[in-house]
Amino acid sequence: MVYMTYLLLIGLVLGLAAVASNPSPYFAALGLVTVAGMSCGILVGYGGSFLSLILFLIYLGGMLVVFAYSAALASEPYPEGWGSWPVSTLMLVYVLLVVCVSVFFSGGWFEGSWVTVDEFSEFTLFRGDSGGVALMYSSGGGVLMLGGWVLLLTLFVVLELTRGLSRGTLRAV
């Protein structure tokens, strides 16, 4: 189980190095999808299966799909993957940087606890992370209303930003 979490963490760091080396946006979106998949696995390994489901649904299924559709705006005839010279050099530099800095911080790597959250009570259906999110509806009702209001406001922001014929917020559009 610990080896699985180690592999997922290594995959996370390598996938983020692939995104941070700024290839063509097609490949960067692919790298971000694999990073989100690895991090969902890490969350499940620590016992947060509901939060992992929310991440898959909302982040991968909502936001990254919109980014993938917007990648059509960044089209170019010869997209640069990780085989081109500047991108692969940057990725190598980032991975080497992470490995070299880890020498300074590798003191307490085997002292942390890998115990998952829901091992403390055997006969309950009350999972920790689901119960924590349910508090958003009871004690955190104000933040829920605020979040809904902000999402509605963002809809109007996007409308005014992309309203054409100089009628929106940007005169040039």
Partner 1 sequence: MTLTHYAFSSSYFMSFLGLIFYRKHLLSALLCLEAMMLILFISLCLWGLILASTVFSAGPMILLAFSACEASAGLALLVAMARTHGTDRLKNLSLLRC
Q: Using a CB cutoff of 8 Å and minimum separation of 24, what contacts does 95-100 make? A: 95/13, 95/14, 95/17, 98/13, 98/17
Shortest Å, Cβ 162 to partner 1: 5
Specify the DSSP element, H or E, that contains 89.
helix 85-105
Binding positions for partner 1, 137-166, rule CB under 8 A: 140, 143, 147, 150-151, 153-154, 157-158, 161-162, 164
Q: For the chain, what is the radius of gyration of the CA atoms?
A: 21
CA distance 46 to 133: 16
170 binds partner 1 (CB under 8 A): yes
Nearer to partner 1, 111 or 123 (CB): 111
Site for partner 1 in 56-95 (CB under 8 A): 58-59, 62-64, 66-67, 70-71, 73-74, 86, 90, 94
Q: How far is the CB of 49 from partner 1 (least distance, A)?
A: 10
> Which single residue is written with the structure tokens 């996007």?
158
Report the residue number, 43 or 123, with the smaller CB distance to partner 1: 43
Please say which residue, 104 or 123, places its beta carbon nearer to partner 1.
104
Q: Does position 96 bind partner 1 by CB under 8 A?
A: no
Q: How many CB atoms lie within 10 A of CB 162?
A: 11
One residue of 4, 61, 102, 167 binding partner 1 per CB under 8 A: 102
32 belongs to the binding site for partner 1 (CB under 8 A) = yes
Q: Alpha-carbon dihedral of residues 82, 83, 85, 88, nearest 10 degrees?
A: 40
Which residues make Cβ contacts (< 8 Å) with residue 173, sequence separation at least 6? 161, 162, 163, 164, 166
| Distance in Å, CB of 146 to partner 1, minimum | 8
